[in-house]
Amino acid sequence: MNLKILILILFTPFLFAQEEPVVYENDAKAYYNENYNWDSNELSFCDLTISPDSTFSFYCRPNISCWTWFEIKGNWKKENNIYTFLSQYEVSENNTRLTFNKDLTKKYLLKFRTDKKSELKNRNIKIEYIYDYDAKIDDVEKTMRFDSNNSIEIPFKEIPNHKKLASIKIEYYLSESEKRYVYITEGKTVNEKEKDIPNIVEIEFVEKPLNEIVYRTTIGKLEGEKLEIISNVKTKTSLSENLNEISFEKYYELRK
């Protein structure tokens, strides 16, 4: 009898050990939820995958296109029924800054410089015209050269289908290994025309953008087959975060 009890005690942890990833889900703001109000623009994580190797991944899936999905990964630890999810990500300063102005001339004037006023040794720059999606017009690429003032001029009449132009993509190599690219637009989406692009644009390349690490701690409480998110905090950064804030739902149910 004592031998049976000893064997049971020794093997009980292994009987309850997690051998496969488990997923907790709440599709309140997932793209496949027909009841979601898309006009709200609110984002939340819709599934949480907890793996047996003490790693996890949280997914936000706001649109059918996987290009819009967002994932955070990290490590978890568990004490009794409390999960602690630890993750980190890097925030970078924008490596290109834009300043807009306009006048009545029928041309774009693009002026280039670096934040440290360094010489722009590479005189070539790639320009791409991005058109409104609904216009069904192919984007147009071309390579141009700076003039003596580190500027380029583009008359409106030289841009095919100028009335449908949504943005101008700039691609430039500061050096062989340092590429800068930016979309010149006043809209939220680069291929959706909301208003005309201002015709005078100053483009400043940041030579050494700052970087900071943000640490995130999320606490979850497990009750049966339901995971309750108790708290979600992260360290502060002096840099601007360009990503939309993604929240957690209050509860997530075990996927069966």
Per-residue pLDDT 10s for the chain (256 aa) are 444 443 333 333 333 456 799 999 998 777 777 666 656 667 889 999 999 999 999 988 877 667 778 898 999 999 999 999 999 999 999 999 999 999 999 999 999 999 999 999 999 999 999 999 999 999 999 999 999 999 999 999 999 999 999 999 999 999 999 999 999 998 888 999 999 999 999 999 999 999 999 999 999 999 999 999 999 999 998 888 776 788 899 999 999 8
For position 14, what pLDDT does the model report? Answer: 36
For position 16, what pLDDT does the model report? Answer: 44
Q: How far apart are alpha carbons 114 and 206 in whole angstroms?
A: 6
Backbone conformation region of residue 224, classed left if phi is above 0, alpha if psi is from -120 to 50, else beta: left
For position 7, what pLDDT does the model report? Answer: 38
Select from 172, 66, 203, 187 the least CA-distant residue to 130.
Answer: 187
| Burial class of residue 84, CB neighbours in 10 A (0-12, 13-18, 19+) | middle
* Secondary-structure percent of the chain, ordered helix, strand, coil, rounded to 5: 10, 45, 45
pTM of the model: 0.69
Q: CB count, 10 Å around CB of 122?
A: 13
Alpha helices in the chain (DSSP H): 2-15
Contact 56, 85 (CB under 8 A): yes
For position 18, what pLDDT does the model report? Answer: 62
For position 243, what pLDDT does the model report? Answer: 67
For position 198, what pLDDT does the model report? Answer: 96
Q: What is the DSSP string of 111-168?
A: EEEETT-------EEEEEEEE-GGGT---EEEEEE--TTSEEEEEGGGSTTGGGEEEE
State CA 146 to chain mean position distance: 31
Contact 122, 112 (CB under 8 A): no
For position 241, what pLDDT does the model report? Answer: 78
For position 114, what pLDDT does the model report? Answer: 97
Q: What is the dihedral of CA 181, 186, 191, 197, to 10 degrees?
A: -90
For position 178, what pLDDT does the model report? Answer: 93
For position 23, what pLDDT does the model report? Answer: 94
